[in-house]
Copies of this chain bind each other. A is one copy, B any other.
Amino acid sequence: MQTDKLAFVKSMLPFWNKLTGEEAALLTKHLKTATFASGENVHSSIDDCVGILLVKSGELRAYILSDEGKEVTLFRLGGDAVCVLSASCLISSITFDLFIDAVRPTEVCLIDTRAFSRVMERNVYAENFALRVTTERFSEVMWAMEQILFMSFDRRLAIFLLDETAKTGIDNITMTHEQIARYVGSAREVVSRMLKYFAEEGMVAVHRGGVEILDKLKLRKLI
């Protein structure tokens, strides 16, 4: 089991073979497995700095949160994803607060921030990896930002609904309007209004606790 965990971590960290024996031992020593229940908060704000997350299974959602409690989803992380922003205190140039929740039951390997930080100070390849992963997230955030700022809301919602059914293979999306609003970076009222319009047009059926997709072709035409 311990060996399995280490093998997983090595497979996720391409710089592992550039580590000295001492550095590898330090990371190995400060490695743990953690599981999060659906909806559980994994990381909140740069102050707590939970550590480097290596997602084994499940799904995480990263978002920003306004003073008034408005959430905007920036990206999601599935199996085999690495998240460095959950250890954002590692990189001094990261100055924004990010929140991460588990979308479904999720298992992760967690590398302690301080241990990783000590390795990063000595090993430029470890630092390089952390910066490169961060840059990848930058592109994902830019994509989310363009969706939110530039795309008309009917298109955004149609894309979200079609993506969800494509991902699960089921035409029934069991999410509240509130939850959908968080994913698409909007307000519940706006989502409810647009879903009502979609329902009137025969594209979806809205029922308690979910949305059923009825006419994918018509939804696709919105995109």
**A150→B94 contact, CB < 8 A:** no
Q: Identify A131's interface contact among B67, B96, B128, CB under 8 A.
A: B128
New A-B contacts (15) at CB < 8 Å, excluding given A93-B132, A145-B145 = A64-B142, A64-B149, A67-B150, A70-B149, A72-B149, A91-B132, A94-B138, A95-B139, A95-B142, A131-B131, A131-B132, A135-B135, A135-B138, A148-B149, A149-B185
Instruction: Determine if A80 is an interface residue (Cβ-Cβ < 8 Å).
Output: no
Cα distance, A75 to B134, chains bound together (Å): 18
Interface size class of A (residues with CB under 8 A): 20 to 34
Q: What copy number does this chain have within its complex?
A: 2
> How many angstroms from the CA of A143 to the CA of B94 in the assembled complex?
11
A4 within 8 Å of B by Cβ? no
Which residue of B64, B127, B146 is within 8 Å of A64 (Cβ)? B146
Question: Taking the nearest CB of chain B, how far is it from the CB of A35, in angstroms?
Answer: 29
Whole-angstrom distance between the alpha carbons of A125 and B131 in the complex?
A: 12
Inter-chain contact A138/B141, CB cutoff 8 Å: yes
B145 touches A64 (CB 8 A): yes
* Assembled-state Cα–Cα distance A167/B77 (Å): 40
